[in-house]
Amino acid sequence: MSSTNKTSNLGLNSWIESDKPKRTDFVYDNSVIDRVLGNHVKDSTIHLTEDEKIKVQSPFVVHTIYGTGSEFTRINLGFVPSVVMAFKKNAPYCQDQGSYTKVNSGVATAVGTTGGIEISQDKVIMYETDTVENSSIYSLNEEYAEYILIAFR
């Protein structure tokens, strides 16, 4: 005889003193628990993946970068960013130089960039140019200059 009462949520056996539990009752209860919990644990619409948990707990990182003066510098982030922003510390975003603009900042995404900076898989590349391009010279790796880099997961 199975139990006189059942639990309200899963319909598991809830015996009273006069009930006589059988092995099949336990097997049934265990299969219900395994099915319900198994489906819950596997449900990716209500549970976050490890990558999603990292994005929620640490949605961005901030780095201080020191320019080398070379044509570019490559910063390994260890993750593929959705957006990166970089700017020279204690400098305007851009400076009018008469015949061109010196750009001290940049933004890059997977679909486009302001120039002077780009995303390449899990790396950010920041450029120091000496030729005018689009009426600008990009100054994102000036020797000894300090830059702040913000990368969003």
User: Cβ distance 21 to 15 under 8 Å?
Assistant: yes
Residue 25 in tokens: 């009752």
* 17 CB-near residues (< 8 Å, 6+ apart): none
The second-level CATH assignment, the architecture, of 58-152 is: Sandwich (2.60)
> What b/e readout covers 113-144, taking b as 16+ CB neighbours within 10 angstroms?
ebbbbbbeeeebbbbbbeeeeeebbbbbbbee
Sorted by where each begins, the domain ranges of the chain are 5-42, 58-152
153 residues of the chain, pLDDT tens digit each: 578 999 999 999 999 999 999 999 999 999 999 999 998 888 878 888 887 888 888 899 999 999 999 999 999 999 999 999 999 999 999 999 999 999 999 999 989 999 999 999 999 999 999 999 889 999 999 999 999 999 999
